[in-house]
Structure 1
């Protein structure tokens, strides 16, 4: 559908050849102080999807079509799922954790 918001977690915002992106529904940001409120279409519609490394332009295209609802795209310099330990043991070798 569309990217409603972009949150850039890159230390160097000028990197664009190889970045990681994570999308989730924009309504998931509703609890953040000062955030605009997005409509929540259903109760079981939360998702988090990570892709990368990819070019910034590829991530923008991917995020724009990742869901039927507005999404927030988070940008990172490395795989954020590895940094948080969210990869399962079986995925660690695949994603380079």
Structure 2
């Protein structure tokens, strides 16, 4: 099992360590984590019971707003996560 999981990780590293990658490709690859995170978060924040939920009763969507702001200003994942957790707790208590 170790070999099966190790080979797909080791081969690209071994091959790409010998290749010079252009700055444009590296810049483009920098957007991959943001795109993946957005693709994972958007359905959780905006869809409930298979339907788009943009109502003020959607506490996850409301909590995401200050969470995004904290992430933009602090650039610190710990501050962002704590802000999101506190907002979800507060909004669930208030609503």
RCO greater where, 1 or 2, for CA within 8 Å and sep 6 or more? 1
Higher helix share: 2
Higher strand share: 1
* Structure with max Cα Rg: 2
TM-score for both structures, normalised by structure 2: 0.25
User: TM-score scaled by structure 1?
Assistant: 0.25
